């Protein structure tokens, strides 16, 4: 505590508070900033954070253990609930891992449906992250506009699988229901509508001078810090590293689509913000291309009645809304996995917070926390 801490904004300077002059502020498991059950113990010198300690585990639900206790098919509902905002991605990773291990063929139409659903899910997830973050900063209106767009996406999902948040839509070998023309039309209409909305968000929020002053230069996490903590996703791309699992470890049909990987070198909260807005635009591009190319055909491949994976170690990684989500299945030949490991992105994304928030003033630290776009159940699984 007596080590000097640098104040990094608006003038600089150092603070070196003796321990008896600091107090502990507990950003408790319950707080109105919509992150989830996360506890941060911040040792404060007046308004500056001298150090912080993160306490997680309040929502540890033992998903990995549940996976190891059940046959492969019975874990499907859990996958939607690990990170409920990126449910399609997580189910995709699990289903992909099992298919890769058991060498199950997925029909082409099912792959296209999966890509469309994944990209719609990415847009929906970014809308929530963006809206909640702006709400933390005091702009209480954009979250409601974001939720109106999200309603359209959720209506599309409800049309194909009947659920709005926890889908359980993918199965081993494909998807459980075919999509009809109404969904394809709805998805096609959604793209220009969303483009118009993205333009509105740019005018209303991104270009807003108050927001820019709030985010530019705040919470700088450079590429080297991100590498040390295992950060992935928009947080890493906001630090200038163009790492996207869809290009680095291509899966599904992504090699067929043309899309850019938005990345900005500044590493501050504004860069992470811009990465997310650009990613929504790129997702719309992918959806358009997928809708153009989707073939007719079956949506479910052949799977054995009792699914037993051959013994071995299988992984499958996807680019979820928040970063790289990887499923690792270690199988010993039985019909339940020996080990099911879920590598979730938010755990790595939260890790640099302790170092990045040293010397920050409290509201800026909260803006930084919002820019990491955390879903706490994803950290605790």
Partner 1 sequence: MSAVAAAKEVLLGFKSLLVGMRITLGQFFSPKITVQYPRETLKMPERFRGHIRLVLDPETGASRCTACKLCERACPSECISVDGVKLEGAKTKSVTEYHLNFTTCSLCGLCVEACPFDAIEFSKTYNAIGVSRSEFDNMDMVRQLAGRREVWLQNHPLPPAAPAMPAATAAPAKSAAPTLPPTPETKTP
Partner 2 sequence: MIEYFISGPGSAYTRLVIYLVAFMAFVGLNAAYLVLAERKGAGWFQRRPGPNEAGPAGILQPIADGIKLIAKQVFVPPGVDGILFRLAPALVLMPAFMCLATIPYAETIYGRNINVGLLMVFSFGSITVFCLMLGGWASRNKYAVISAARVVSQNIAYEIPMLLVVLTVLMLTGTMDMQKIVQQQAGGFWNWNILRGVWTLHNPLVPVTFVIFFICMLAETNRAPFDMAEAESELIAGAMTEYSGFSWGLFFMGEYANIVVSCSVATVLFLGGWQSPIGILSGGAWGLIWFFLKLYLVIFTVIWVRWTFPRTQFYGLLNLSWKILIPISLGTLLLSSALIKIL
Which residues of the chain form contacts with partner 1 (CB under 8 A)?
70, 73-78, 141, 145, 148, 151, 155, 158-163, 166, 168, 171, 176-177, 200, 203-205, 207-210, 212
Query: Which residue shows structure tokens 């790129």?
Result: 282
**Minimum separation from the CB atom of position 163 to partner 2 (A):** 25
Question: Binds 137, which of partner 2, partner 1, none (CB < 5 to 8 A, cut-off by type)?
Answer: partner 2
**Do 333 and 309 touch, CB atoms closer than 8 A?**
yes
Q: Which listed residue (21, 148, 180, 207) binds partner 2 by CB under 8 A?
A: 148
Query: Which residue shows structure tokens 């630290």?
Result: 365
Q: Which listed residue (28, 77, 138, 297) binds partner 2 by CB under 8 A?
A: 138
The whole-angstrom separation of Cα 279 and Cα 263 is 9
DSSP class of residue 350 equals H
Question: Binds 214, which of partner 1, partner 2, none (CB < 5 to 8 A, cut-off by type)?
Answer: partner 2
The nearer residue to partner 1, 199 or 228, going by C-beta atoms, is 199
Q: Name which of residues 211 to 240 contact partner 2 (CB under 8 A).
A: 211, 213-214
**Minimum separation from the CB atom of position 234 to partner 2 (A):** 20
User: Which among 119-127, 130-138, 186-194, 322-330 is the span making contact with partner 2, rule CB under 8 A?
Assistant: 130-138
**Do 57 and 380 touch, CB atoms closer than 8 A?**
yes
Question: Binds 53, which of partner 1, partner 2, none (CB < 5 to 8 A, cut-off by type)?
Answer: none
The nearer residue to partner 2, 213 or 247, going by C-beta atoms, is 213
Q: Is 206 in the site for partner 2 (CB under 8 A)?
A: no
Query: Which residue shows structure tokens 């118009």?
Result: 196
User: Which among 25-33, 174-182, 245-253, 259-267 is the span making contact with partner 2, rule CB under 8 A?
Assistant: 25-33
Question: Binds 76, which of partner 2, partner 1, none (CB < 5 to 8 A, cut-off by type)?
Answer: partner 1
User: Which among 26-34, 182-190, 251-259, 316-324 is the span making contact with partner 2, rule CB under 8 A?
Assistant: 26-34
Question: Binds 197, which of partner 2, partner 1, none (CB < 5 to 8 A, cut-off by type)?
Answer: none
Q: Which residues of 319-347 are buried (b: 16+ CB within 10 A; e: fewer)?
A: bbbbbbbbbbbbbeeeebbeebbbbbbbb
β-strand pairing of 174-175 with 5-6: unpaired
Question: Binds 160, which of partner 1, partner 2, none (CB < 5 to 8 A, cut-off by type)?
Answer: partner 1
Cβ contacts of residue 204 below 8 Å, gap of 6+?
142, 145
Burial class (CB in 10 A: 0-12, 13-18, 19+), 85: buried
Per DSSP, the residues of 9-30 read STT--EE---GGG-EEEEE-SS
**Nearest CA among 338, 344, 346, 372 for reference residue 357:** 372
Q: Which listed residue (208, 266, 315, 336) binds partner 2 by CB under 8 A?
A: 208
Q: Which listed residue (29, 139, 186, 301) binds partner 2 by CB under 8 A?
A: 139
The whole-angstrom separation of Cα 288 and Cα 292 is 6
Q: Is 108 in the site for partner 2 (CB under 8 A)?
A: no
**Minimum separation from the CB atom of position 148 to partner 1 (A):** 6
Tokens representing 57 are: 């585990």
Tokens representing 49 are: 């954070």
- Please name the helix (run of DSSP H) or strand (run of DSSP E) that holds residue 251, with its range, or none: none
What residues make contact with partner 2 under the rule CB under 8 A?
A: 10, 25, 27, 31-33, 47, 134, 137-141, 144-145, 148, 204, 208, 210-211, 213-214, 361-364, 366
């Amino acid at each position: 505590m007596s080590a000097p801490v640098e104040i990094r904004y608006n003038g600089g300077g150092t603070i070196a508070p003796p321990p008896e002059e600091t107090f502990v502020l507990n950003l408790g498991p319950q707080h109105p900033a919509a992150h989830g059950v996360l506890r941060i113990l911040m040792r404060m010198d007046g308004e500056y954070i001298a150090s912080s300690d993160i306490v997680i585990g309040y929502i540890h639900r033992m998903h990995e253990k549940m996976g190891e206790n059940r046959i492969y098919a019975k874990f499907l509902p859990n996958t939607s609930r690990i990170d409920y905002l990126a449910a399609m991605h997580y189910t995709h990773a699990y289903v992909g891992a099992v298919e890769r291990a058991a060498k199950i063929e997925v029909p082409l139409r099912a792959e296209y449906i999966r890509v469309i659903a994944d990209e719609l899910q990415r847009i929906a997830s970014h809308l929530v992250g963006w809206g909640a973050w702006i709400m933390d900063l005091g702009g209480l209106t954009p979250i409601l506009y974001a939720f109106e767009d999200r309603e359209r996406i959720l209506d599309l999902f409800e049309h194909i699988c009947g659920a709005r948040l926890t889908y359980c839509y993918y199965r081993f070998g494909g998807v459980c229901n075919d999509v009809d023309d109404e969904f394809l039309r709805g998805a096609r209409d959604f793209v220009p509508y969303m483009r118009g909305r993205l333009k509105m968000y740019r005018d209303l929020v991104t270009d807003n001078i108050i927001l820019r002053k709030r985010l530019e230069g705040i919470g700088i996490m450079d590429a080297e810090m991100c590498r040390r903590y295992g950060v992935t996703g928009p947080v890493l791309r906001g630090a200038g590293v163009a790492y996207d699992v869809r290009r680095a470890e291509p899966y599904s049909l992504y090699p067929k689509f043309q899309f850019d990987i938005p990345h900005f070198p500044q590493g501050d909260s504004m860069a992470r913000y811009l990465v997310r807005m650009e990613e929504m635009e790129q997702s719309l591009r992918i959806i358009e291309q997928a809708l153009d190319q989707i073939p007719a055909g079956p949506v479910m491949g052949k799977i054995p009645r009792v699914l037993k994976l051959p013994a071995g170690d299988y992984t499958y990684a996807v680019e979820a809304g928040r970063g790289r989500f990887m499923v690792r299945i270690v199988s010993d030949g039985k019909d339940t996995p020996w080990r099911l490991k879920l590598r979730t992105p938010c755990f790595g994304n939260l890790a640099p917070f302790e170092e990045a928030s040293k010397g920050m003033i409290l509201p800026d630290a909260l803006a930084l926390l919002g820019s990491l776009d955390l879903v706490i159940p994803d950290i605790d699984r």
